[in-house]
Chain A
Amino acid sequence: MNRLFRSIARLGALIAVLLIIAGPLHMARADSPPAPGTGHAPGHIKVEVTDLGFNGKTDGLVIEVEQGQMVELTFTWAHQSYPREEHIMVLQGYGLETDRLNSSNREATLKFIADKAGTFNFKCDVECDVHDYLQQGYLKVKRSGSAAADGSAKATFTPTTLALSPSAWVTGGEAVTLTAVLRDPGGVSVPKAELSFYLEAEFGGSKGKMWFAKARTDANGVAFLEYRPILEAPKQTITARFDGMGIYAESEQAIEVQVIGVPPSAYDMEPTGLTGPSLGVWLGGTPPQPALSAWSWAISNWGPLALATMVLAMWGVFGFILYQAFRISRVRPRR
């Protein structure tokens, strides 16, 4: 009995010792940032944005992942002393950025496949010295054996198809609604995808694609954009582009819009002149855009004529006085 009791006591002591040793180890693991998954398993990484930097590290947080791994990098707003702080986190090299992070929108995630090897800076994109120094982190993507010479790995991005419509005739000054539909090969819509729209433009001797708008797909993978031509070119090529958000393959689609007539200017020049206080009277060049009151309309239209009449009348009076003064010398006395 005693032997049995001693054995149980020994086992209990061993378990206690193990618990004593394993407890702090477990706690230490819980405190440190969660390790990303290995291989191609998804790596969920959480980063707390605190007053003292990412996860409280003032000298820059370093995260390591494997090349080709799916990464979910979640930023959590956790400021204590700065309740009005706002951030937009960007991952350089991958061209990714989060939505705005603030006290009301406390979490934002970047989900992407780490196909490029190297060290990439992720930081807050709001220009501020404090941000620049404190909100810094580095994503180290360890090169996999199957990587190409330039460091890129053949990641398996889900292909997408982007359909843009309609190719249309637009009368200058009118708007046409462009519809972009983004789907994966299975026909499943891709929601919340940001699409960029470009125009083929030529200006000042340079040709290129001019970014002019962006739109986000809805739950059905459809994005709408109201396009009102500004460029003078009668044929305008519009390209919608989806950059893949780091998990899908890039895709783009171009259409041609024919513009009839000359679109209105994108700029309304502010007129130069003087306003009569509280009268709404405008003296100057082109009158301001709001409709003129009857009073100011009358002054604008008849003012110059009235002014001319007044000036003439004044000169007439002066002239008449001068004439009278001149005549004095010629007045014959009454006899």
Chain B
Amino acid sequence: MGVVVIQVDYSAKDKIEEDMDQGDNLRKWQLSRRQVLKAVGAAGVAALAAPLMPAFLARSAGSGPEEGSKATRLRQWVLVFDLRKCEGCITKGTPPKCIEGCNAEHFVPEGQEWIRVFQVEGPAGHSYFLPRPCMQCENPPCVKVCPVGATYRNDEGIVLINHERCIGCRMCMAACPYGVRSFNWDQPENPPGALFANYSPQYPVPHRRGTVEKCMLCAHRVQDGKLPACAEACPMYAIYLGDLTEDIATNGKDVVKLSQLLADSSAFRLKEELGTRPRVWYIPGHGQEYGHEVGDERPPIKARTWQEQGVTLEKKREGASK
């Protein structure tokens, strides 16, 4: 068994230490115990705060004087689409009025539709129409994935986007199981005067390049006691705005008990199995109440954009003041 003898040349080490003592530049890199503890403490606090940031950002994104409606209790908004009455406006020979109403209200950028009307094939081989806005989920995946807290859910259950914070990463678009979000690849056309309009997440005009947009249940209208633009424009009164807090809903003509409406008509929600708990219900049907024949396979007519409808901010203001 051999013995290994290690010889250490202490003279070289001493030389280095002497250099360190003499060099001011090297001295700067020396840390005291206190400094190290301070740095560790700061890193710990940062590590702790990091997971809380999206929630904090989301909360701060929604803070604004115009948040919420004027009722004492917080509303919990819902939409109900009565498909027994929705026939895609084809028997009227017009484009779907809900889409056009939405386009005109929000100056929706060309190529986007914040509410879309799909023609769906039913189990009996017939077709029916399915208007699909944002589902305003109670458990929204889009909010959870937003890295900057730009998309958030306000106290009244409306999922909004703060475009001043949106960085255009499109994570929310990937996360949304309903595909209701659109992206502004280019600078969208805004109506004249819109650049000076007061932007708010409730009414995101002017539109901005590189941000995500979607239906926001006309948050600016419902908190003023008005129907969303789609519901107001629907000639069939097929769209109900409801409030879960008061258990009430209206389509602009009738005032009904929301829970009764849903229970009596076997209402359903889209992709309920995902656990997103959408706030949009559908009453099954195929437009039969307005004479839509089962064999009528005509697709809906393409909706006009706000430019084609000739809507301007001035006209909208005049209409609102009347």
Contact = CB atoms under 8 A, between A and B. Distances in A.
Interface of A: 201-212, 230-232, 262, 265-267, 269-270, 272, 307-308, 311-312, 315-316, 318-320, 322-323, 326, 330, 332-333, 335
B257 A212 contact: yes
Contact of A270 (B13, B256, B277): B277
Among B246, B249, B277, max chain A CB count under 10 A is at B246
A208 B226 CA distance: 15
Nearest to B17: A332
Interface stretch (B29-37, B176-184, B195-203): B29-37
30 contacts: A202-B255, A203-B243, A203-B246, A204-B225, A204-B241, A205-B225, A206-B251, A206-B252, A206-B253, A206-B254, A208-B250, A208-B254, A209-B255, A211-B256, A211-B260, A231-B246, A265-B73, A265-B245, A307-B48, A311-B48, A312-B41, A312-B44, A315-B40, A315-B44, A318-B40, A319-B36, A319-B43, A330-B30, A333-B10, A333-B13
Contacts of B257: 210-212
Contacts of A272: 138-139
Given A312-B48, A319-B36, A230 B247 contact: yes
Contacts of A201: 248, 255
Nearest to B228: A204
A155 to B, nearest CB: 29
Contacts of B73: 232, 262, 265
Nearest to B43: A315
A259 to B, nearest CB: 12
B41 A269 contact: no
Contacts of A312: 41, 44, 48
Contact of B44 (A267, A316, A333): A316
Interface in B28-87: 30-31, 33, 36-37, 39-41, 43-44, 47-48, 71-74, 76
A270 B278 CA distance: 12
B259 A203 contact: no
Contacts of A269: 76, 138
A13 to B, nearest CB: 63
Given A232-B73, A269-B76, A326-B31, A205 B248 contact: no
Contacts of A212: 257, 260
Contacts of B253: 206
A56 to B, nearest CB: 27
B8 interface: yes
Interface residues of B, number: 47
Contacts of B231: 204
B2 to A, nearest CB: 25
A203 B250 contact: yes
B227 interface: yes
Nearest to A268: B244
Given A231-B246, A333-B13, A205 B227 contact: yes
Given A203-B250, A232-B72, A323 B255 contact: no
8 closest A-B pairs by CB:
A319-B40, A267-B244, A266-B247, A208-B255, A312-B44, A206-B250, A315-B44, A204-B250
A203 B255 contact: yes
Contacts of B255: 201-203, 206-210
B265 to A, nearest CB: 10
A13 B243 CA distance: 83
A204 B252 contact: yes
Contacts of B30: 330
A319 B255 CA distance: 65
Contacts of A207: 255
A204 B226 contact: yes
A70 to B, nearest CB: 31
A232 B246 CA distance: 7
A209 B40 CA distance: 66
Given A204-B249, A266-B246, 5 more contacts: A203-B248, A203-B255, A208-B254, A267-B245, A320-B40
Contacts of A211: 256-257, 260
A239 to B, nearest CB: 13
Contact of B40 (A203, A232, A262, A316): A316
Contacts of A330: 30
A265 to B, nearest CB: 4
Contacts of B246: 203, 230-232, 266
Contacts of B10: 333, 335
A261 to B, nearest CB: 10
Contact of A231 (B13, B44, B248, B254): B248
Contacts of B43: 315, 319
Nearest to B35: A323
A232 B39 CA distance: 54
A300 to B, nearest CB: 16
A323 B40 CA distance: 10
B31 A265 contact: no
Interface string B259-300: 110000000000000000100000000000000000000000
B239 to A, nearest CB: 11
A267 B254 contact: no
A212 B249 CA distance: 12
Nearest to B259: A266
A327 to B, nearest CB: 9
A265 B244 contact: yes
Contacts of A308: 44, 48
Contacts of B245: 265-267
A149 B165 CA distance: 68
B227 A311 contact: no
A235 to B, nearest CB: 15
A305 to B, nearest CB: 10
